Amino acid sequence: MPTSIKTRRSFLLSAAVAGATASTAWRKTFAAPDPDAYFAGAAEREITPPEGMEITHFIRENIGVHDPLYVRALVIRDSSGKQIALVSADALGAGFATCDEIRDRVKEKCGMDEVWFSCSHTHSGRWVLSTPRSDREYTEELQWDDGTHVPLIERPAELAWNTSVHQKIVDVVREATQSLQPAVLRTGRAPVKVGINRRVTRPDGFTHMGWNRQGLIVPWVSTLSAHSKETQQPIFILFEHAAHPVTVPHTSRLVSADFPGAAVAKLRKSLPTDCIAAFGQGCSANINSFPLRTTHEDADAAGIKLGEAALVALDKSNVITGDSIRFHTIPTILPTMPLPSEKLIEAQLIAQKDHPDRIRQLKKITAYRATGQVPPARRLDAHGLMLGKEFCLIGLPYEHFSHTERWIDRAAPFANTMAFTLTNGGRGYIGSDAGLAMGPNGGYEAGCMPNWSAHEVMSPNLGPPAVGSEKIIQSAIAALWS
Ligand SMILES: [Zn+2]
């Protein structure tokens, strides 16, 4: 058994036996190997969309706020001056154009060497869009990326809110950088379950959305925290769990960060007032929070449970050694599943004649077939932040199955891991190879034509990723560690 695995097992054991909810361990005196190895700072800003600006997803009227939405920045600098900003937003998501824009702007304005932008995936907020530019055509690719067919420039109220979000991201990173102080970094883990696997396969082989209580989930919360060397108080706690934030009912017309917001609120109540708590969404493509779409009170209860688990993880956390930040990106392309047959397309052109969106997709497929082209591939940059030998955070665009996070946890040569999805771009789902191999039976997240409820059929790629994508992603992640 490799040493790293042994270390991880004993680490997990100590986390698993933790029962207390009051966080105290970080108050103890601890010795970092290098007294000035790391610096940390954090800040937050409210980004709640105003009343009247519709909530998505599902799209619905916005008559007010249940709990406000925030963007938060955590900045870590090492002894050489290298620094990274981890920005987390209460948002449904953001495409590549938006994330590229945010990351470039923050690097330039705040002097960051690296910036990650991650979304919590709350289904009671907004999608963050790119800023309109006169020198940029609003192409179909950009429309898919922004999740809208109507240019933002034609919606002044939304443009104003979206612009303010972009500005607040710069502001929040700048403020976090200005508050940098010598810090000890710690990482912890504790068991918790907020969701249940949502992919149920019927006896006839078709997969639909339901409750698969035996299905794979990620039954823990992992934390990365920074503690002031001077006061030993926590500066920030970053926590990650994998579950779609869908406990708030889709009939609610109130903006909410769903259970991640309630978890942050729980942490804020339990920790010093100036400690920033920020949530990262794990590999939750096949996990729904439970209970599904019921009440704001249920979302609060799930968040409190998650927050209490994060406090246990913090209590049992271990010091991260080393003196440098290491981050890498492996640019990766995922091929798309082969196009449907000509016969299937012909039949669908007749069957879907009353669905203009579907007909549009079918005509594109026909054009690709006519010229012998393969469907467009997906960009999927794999990002890694490695700290000492104790901690690794993987950041992935798109939504990924829990299998990916479980694989990262098994394969990573680090004592503890976190995986963020909806990070630095993406739109929709990357199925596991097993899900993709089911073809049309692969369900909402992985199915292909003629399953029109399969999300990726209605995408710029004209279908889900090809079988084999899981291995490509794993290779990219492993390359981050080499
Ligand atoms: Zn989703």
Compute the distance from residue 284 Cα to the ligand 1 centre, in Å.
8
Q: Furthest-apart CA pair in the chain: how many Å?
A: 72
Strands 287-289 and 276-281, by their bridges, are unpaired
The count of structural domains within the chain is: 2
Amino acid at 268: R
Compute the distance from residue 244 Cα to the ligand 1 centre, in Å.
6
User: Are 325 and 439 in the same domain?
Assistant: no
User: Are 425 and 439 in the same domain?
Assistant: no
CA distance 310 to 325: 24
* 230-250 exposure pattern, b = at least 16 Cβ within 10 A, e = fewer: eeeebbbbbbbbbbbbbbbbe
Compute the distance from residue 428 Cα to the ligand 1 centre, in Å.
7
The label of the residue with tokens 């990723």 reads 465
CA distance 352 to 449: 12
Compute the distance from residue 88 Cα to the ligand 1 centre, in Å.
16
Among 163, 172, 153, 154, smallest CA distance to 126 is for 163
Compute the distance from residue 352 Cα to the ligand 1 centre, in Å.
26
Compute the distance from residue 323 Cα to the ligand 1 centre, in Å.
36
User: Are 131 and 184 in the same domain?
Assistant: yes
Tokens found for residue 75: 């900045």
Range of the domain at 318: 3-331+380-430
307: number of Cβ within 10 Å: 28
Amino acid at 1: M
The label of the residue with tokens 């091929």 reads 335
- Burial class of residue 288 (count of CB atoms within 10 Å of its CB; 0-12, 13-18, 19+): buried
User: Are 221 and 346 in the same domain?
Assistant: no
Compute the distance from residue 5 Cα to the ligand 1 centre, in Å.
32
- Asked whether the beta carbons of 240 and 225 are under 8 A apart, the reply is no
Compute the distance from residue 455 Cα to the ligand 1 centre, in Å.
10
User: Are 268 and 139 in the same domain?
Assistant: yes
Compute the distance from residue 121 Cα to the ligand 1 centre, in Å.
7
Q: In the prediction, which pLDDT does 37 show? A: 86
Q: In the prediction, which pLDDT does 35 show? A: 55
User: Are 250 and 355 in the same domain?
Assistant: no
**Mean pLDDT in order along the chain per 10 residues (482 residues):** 36 36 47 69 98 94 98 97 97 97 98 98 97 90 88 94 98 98 97 98 96 98 97 97 97 98 98 97 98 98 98 98 94 97 97 97 96 96 97 98 98 98 96 97 98 95 97 98 92
User: Are 403 and 448 in the same domain?
Assistant: no
CA distance 421 to 382: 10
Compute the distance from residue 188 Cα to the ligand 1 centre, in Å.
26
CA distance 424 to 107: 14
User: Are 252 and 348 in the same domain?
Assistant: no
User: Are 121 and 55 in the same domain?
Assistant: yes
* 59-87 exposure pattern, b = at least 16 Cβ within 10 A, e = fewer: ebebeebbbebbbbbbbbbbbeeebbbbb
pTM: 0.93
Compute the distance from residue 422 Cα to the ligand 1 centre, in Å.
9
How far from the centroid of its chain's Cα atoms is residue 444's Cα? Answer: 19
Among 314, 356, 328, smallest CA distance to 227 is for 314
Compute the distance from residue 288 Cα to the ligand 1 centre, in Å.
9
- Asked whether the beta carbons of 122 and 256 are under 8 A apart, the reply is yes
Compute the distance from residue 280 Cα to the ligand 1 centre, in Å.
14
Compute the distance from residue 445 Cα to the ligand 1 centre, in Å.
9
User: Are 101 and 155 in the same domain?
Assistant: yes
Compute the distance from residue 400 Cα to the ligand 1 centre, in Å.
9
User: Are 357 and 245 in the same domain?
Assistant: no
User: Are 318 and 395 in the same domain?
Assistant: yes
